[in-house]
Amino acid sequence: MKKLFISTVTASLLLSAPLSADAAFSDVSMYEDEIDFLTGEGIIKGYDNGTFRPGNALNRLQAVQMILREMGIEDIQENEVLDPGFTDLRPGNYGYNEVAKAVELGFIGGKTAENGTRFFDAYGTLTRAQMAKIMAEGYDLSSGKDYSFSDVASGHWANDHISRIANAGVTTGYQDGSFKPENKLQRQHFALFMARLLNESFRDHSGSGQIGELGEIAVTFLDVGQGDAILIEHTNGEVTLVGAGRYGSVTEAALQAEGVTRIDTLIITHPDADHVGGAADVIRNYDVKEVFDSGQVHTTQVFEDYLDAIEDTGVFYSDVRVGDELSDDERTDLAAIAVDPEASDMNEGSIVLKLTHGEMDFMLTGDAGIEVEEELIATGVELESEVLKVSHHGSNTGTSVAFLAAVDPDYAVLSFGDNPYGHPHDEVVQRLAEYPTDIYATEDGSVIFTSNGDALTVENGKQYTAPDQPQDPDPMPGDDGQLSDKLRITGKNLDTEVVTVKNEGTIDVSMKDWKLVSVEGNQTYTFPDDYVLTAGASVQIVSGNGASAGTDRLLWTGSYIWNNDGDAAQLVDPEGNIVYQLD
């Protein structure tokens, strides 16, 4: 299947039907005062359906039009401007007069192609650095105090412009002292910058990254059963959800228990069902403004539902690259430190995030495995964190000794529920306990941390202790305790979605609590309680469009389950043991 790309809106902001100054945009939860101020001044407008689309990217032409509008420069005639000579924007083209005027005023320029010709790229998105230049030059901001940011070198082309807007109180940078000059500028960012530029009451003159009290964040590892859903409530009111659990109803119940009514940003670390399964419901029901994921694709129905929800709602969508900052809160950083959309294994392509608030850090690992951990250590990125979200629900595929030492956590959180995989694995729990860390688990309820940037508090959660190992189970009725090992997966057709299980033993086997697992899809079929697989017999488990039950054929679902690019099938007994795997 092809990856769905949701393009940003390219219609001019100025051509949207205006909303009144006191109109409350249905999709605005951050920077409401700043956006209201600009709409009241007639500088920026919303859309006919009452939305502002704050997460949509701002293009170069839109920025030019709005700044000229604020300056009172309108109805520009072609004979009043000099031709800037752009190959992609000629006299008579939409936006030509405004761009030519902006170039004349000196607050924006063009780009140079490899052959030396100049072009404007009207619908290209602006970065924070480019907006700094537009504002510094367009409003002739003075240099004043020389502000510096950790990621803007003295030789950076926009260093002077960024320093000038900082001096004017337009930006404070992020709380770690960075500016993130190459990050794309969204509509809400533009509104924030412009409001600060035009109205001193919105400004912060405290300087680069020095914004006084850091405020409090809350990070809640939601109890969603066997899955991941991490709620981050930022100091600026922004609400982020990392992962959406396996089932929408379960995830929604967990969100409701925390009093959550909206999600501003949804981040899907990878497409496995226990991370994306609830995403469609969250997108449709929680007024999501923007969605980010790893760029990986899957053939499962829950992934298709997720894509449909993005398309149906028109929510802003983008895949993630290493270095991307995924929060607008200037007092926190939420940075992607690992992701690989080309990874052959879904887990290995998982987004790894580091959340920083003052001196406190959270390492959110998704399902990344030891190979990713080794790569992170090799890059030299700062991994030390007070809280570690243990990878892959505590699987032994992650949380190596070396990675644990590099993160050096005080707390570890295991996100899991009842499952057939044996998560969390004993060796991982033992490794965490011996390190030592304080271990918490979502199987006992949601785990909540709060932080003021200087310290952490566990507001809710029980410390986890590994359960005693179970005794060997009693034999199943009609079984000698060994014959379950005679069950085999003898066939698997990913295209037709048919898996065949055979009882090669000599005694009938009750299939109560037996499971068939799609490893890549991370989805599970549970055999009917009353189903008995007789000695020597085979049964097909079918799924996909048009699938139906019949003689020696059990219906899993009418949705597609198996990944056509490769998907191992596991047969799991009632005690959670994998008795057979067909790769």
Tell me the per-residue pLDDT of 530-571, one tens digit each, with 9 for 90 and over. 898 988 899 999 998 888 888 889 999 888 888 877 888 999
Residue 8 pLDDT exceeds 70: no
Q: Which of 150, 179, 202 marks a domain boundary?
A: 202
Same domain flag for 247 and 178? no
User: How many residues would you count in the chain?
Assistant: 583
Same domain flag for 166 and 261? no
**Distance (Å, rounded) from C-alpha 364 to C-alpha 232?**
11
Tell me the per-residue pLDDT of 497-533, one tens digit each, with 9 for 90 and over. 999 999 888 888 889 989 999 987 778 899 998 898 9
Same domain flag for 423 and 512? no
Same domain flag for 188 and 122? yes
Output the DSSP codes for 105-141: HTS---EE-TTS-EE--TTSBPBHHHHHHHHHHHTT-
C-alpha torsion sign, points 79, 81, 87, 91? negative
Same domain flag for 224 and 195? no
Mean of the pLDDT values across residues 229-258?
A: 94
Choice between 353 and 165, residue whose per-residue pLDDT is larger? 353
HEC string of 186-243 equals EHHHHHHHHHHHHCHHHCCCCCCCCCCCCCCEEEEECCCCCCCCEEEECCCCCEEEEC
Residue 210 pLDDT exceeds 80: no
Q: Where are the beta strands (DSSP E) in 214-345?
A: 217-221, 230-233, 239-242, 265-268, 290-293, 316-319, 333-338
Same domain flag for 524 and 405? no
Q: DSSP class of residue 557?
A: E
Tokens at 254, concatenated: 């967990």
Tell me the per-residue pLDDT of 48-61, one tens digit each, with 9 for 90 and over. 778 887 777 788 89
CATH number at 494 reads 2.60.40.1260
Same domain flag for 360 and 237? yes
Say what the pLDDT of residue 178 is.
Answer: 81
Same domain flag for 282 and 399? yes
* Paired strand residues for 538: 502
Alpha-carbon Rg for the chain, nearest whole angstrom, is 27
| Pick from 559, 566, 581: nearest CA to 501 | 581
Q: Which of 202, 237, 263 marks a domain boundary?
A: 202
Mean of the pLDDT values across residues 316-340?
A: 91
Q: Please count the structural domains in the chain.
A: 3
* Pair 108, 64: CB distance under 8 Å: yes
**Distance (Å, rounded) from C-alpha 211 to C-alpha 203?**
11
Same domain flag for 226 and 198? no
Give, in order, the Cα–Cα distances in Å from 301 to each of 22, 66, 276, 307, 346.
42, 43, 11, 10, 16
Which pairing describes strands 523-526 and 532-533: parallel, antiparallel, or unpaired? unpaired
Domain residues for 535?
483-582
Asked whether residue 542 is assigned to any structural domain, the reply reads yes
| Pick from 269, 218, 285: nearest CA to 446 | 218
CA dihedral 51→181→368→569, nearest 10 degrees, is 50
Choice between 54 and 256, residue whose per-residue pLDDT is larger? 256
* Pair 554, 545: CB distance under 8 Å: no
